[in-house]
Amino acid sequence: MRFATHSIRRNEDDEHKMLRFLLNRFVQASFTLLGVTAITFTLAFLVPADPVRMIAGRNATPATVENIRHQLGLDRPLLQQYAGYLTRLAQGDLGRSYMQRTEVSTLIASRLPWTLLLMAGAIFFELLIGLTAGIWAATRRGHISDRAVMVASFVGVSAPQFLVGLLLLYVFAYLLNLFPLGGGTSFSHLILPALTLGITGGGWYSRVMRSSMIDVLRQDYIRTARAKGLKERKVVLVHGLRNAILPIVAMIGLDIGIFMSGAVVVESVYGWPGIGQLAWQAIQVIDIPIIMGVTLTAAVAIVLGNLLADLATPFIDPRVRL
């Protein structure tokens, strides 16, 4: 039996390999981050709007506009500006917001915990909804319950988040008084926004889980396990799930990146003070330091999320090497 042998042997060779892998990934990550900053910086300058005009307001004379442009260094060649940004970044300085005049690091740090909290809640609901529905459907393939789960998944994915959010608030908070109507940040405030993200994301998880599980349940070793007389529940939940969950792990890694700055709609409906709203408002007024800071934060989350997913893979399927 292959399953019995996959306890991870932690000999020195393995540790050495692990270190090398991490070092490798660290080097790769720095290139990724460098690439992300370069692309975002360039994009910010291709955008057909002038941040200086947004700062200077409508009464400013052209001379004032140019003066501010010079102070911000926005009149220098793009490459020179980028080099300057990287130099300051290396010293841990993300700069100050053009419109708010506050340190970008302060702005992001004040919202980061809330973003992480929402992320955790959303992934929890995605897994809860997605795994349950996916396994249920896979084991009842072709039955009416399988079809019902399919339709429900598609409804979840097709429904716009704004609508789901407002509807949940209207029903559960306004009509039924079960939850607060947004505007705060206690545990009960977290449930509805996390559920909203969980409903839309859960549809994806359930479909992926279902097809992955169906594929796994057809494998020889599952039939072997069944032949050995193991209970079906155990076959599915232990042997089946272990092998079918790989794509789900990859999707969690993805969600860590996506929810870092991509939960704008849900944050806005529920008044959740996350990074997404900060990013959206900054993009509207071309507040380059915030855009850069948020992008960098999201990039770090994406790199970490995918790294974690890659690290988890060999644990789940020991045949896979790092």
Partner 1 sequence: MSDAWRKFLTNRFAFAGTVVIALIVIGGLGAPLLAPYDPHEQFFDGLTLEGAPLPPNEKFWFGTDLLGRDLLSRLLYGARTSLVIGVVANGAAVTIGTVLGLVAGYVRGWPGAAIMRFTDLMMAFPALLLAIALAAIFSPSLWIVALVIALVNWVQIARVIYTQTTSLATREYIEATRALGANWPRLLFVHVLPHLVPTILVWSTLGIATTVLLEATLSFLGIGVRPPTPSWGGIIFESQSYFLDAPWLVFFPGIAVLLMALSFNLVGDALRDSLDPTQRGR
Partner 2 sequence: MRLTRSMLLAPVAVLITAAVAVPARAEGSMVVTYKDDVSTLDPAIGYDWQNWSMIKSLFDGLMDYKPGTTELVPDLAESYEISPDGTQYTFKIRPGVKFHNGREVTAEDVKYSVERVVNPKTQSPGAGFFGSIKGFDEMTAGTTETLSGITVVDPHTVQFDLSRPDATFLHVMAINFAFPVPKEEVDRLGADFGKSPVGNGAYALKEWTLGQRVVFERNPNYWKDGNPKLDRIEFQVGQEPNVALLRLQKGEVDILGDGIPPARFLEVKNDAANKDLIVEGGQLHTGYLTMNVRTPPFDNVKVRQAVNMAINKDRIVKIINNRAVPANQPLPPSMPGYDKNYKGYAYDPDEAKKLLAEAGFPNGFETELYANNTDPNPRIAQAIQQDLAAIGIKADLKTLAQSAVIQAGGEGSAPMIWSGGMAWIADFPDPSNFYGPILGCGGAVQGGWNWAWYCNEELDKLAAEADSMTDPAKKAEREELWRQIFIRIMEEAPWAPVFNEQRFTMHGSRVKGDDALFVDPVHIPVHYDEVSVAQ
What residues have CB less than 8 Å from 279, skipping those under 6 apart?
Answer: 261, 264, 290, 291, 294, 295
137 versus 190: smaller Cβ distance to partner 1 = 137
Q: Which stretch binds partner 2 (CB under 8 A): 111-119, 138-146, 153-161, 217-225?
A: 111-119
Residue 190 binds: one of partner 2, partner 1, none (C-beta under 5 to 8 A by kind): partner 2
Under the binding rule (CB under 8 A), the answer on residue 286 touching partner 2 is yes
Out of 163, 171, 178, 237, name the contact with partner 1 by CB under 8 A: 163
Give one DSSP letter per residue of 193-252, joined into a string. HHHHHHHHHHHHHHHHHHHHHHHHHTSHHHHHHHHTT--HHHIIIIIIHHHHTHHHHHHH
Out of 247, 271, 314, 318, name the contact with partner 2 by CB under 8 A: 271
Q: By CB under 8 A, what part of segment 74-103 binds partner 2? A: 92, 94, 96-97, 99-103
DSSP three-state, residue 178 = coil
Rounded CA separation 273/113 (Å): 9
31 versus 187: smaller Cβ distance to partner 1 = 31
Is residue 118 within 8 Å of 274, Cβ to Cβ?
Answer: yes
> What is the dihedral angle through the alpha carbons of 149, 155, 161, 167, rounded to the nearest 10 degrees?
-90
Site string for partner 1, 87-106 (x = CB under 8 A): --------------------
Under the binding rule (CB under 8 A), the answer on residue 119 touching partner 2 is no
Q: By CB under 8 A, what part of segment 184-203 binds partner 1? A: 203
What residues have CB less than 8 Å from 236, skipping those under 6 apart?
Answer: 135, 139, 213, 217
62 versus 77: smaller Cβ distance to partner 2 = 62
Residue 21 binds: one of partner 2, partner 1, none (C-beta under 5 to 8 A by kind): none
Q: Tokens standing for 98?
A: 């053009």
Q: How far is the CB of 238 from partner 2 (least distance, A)?
A: 34
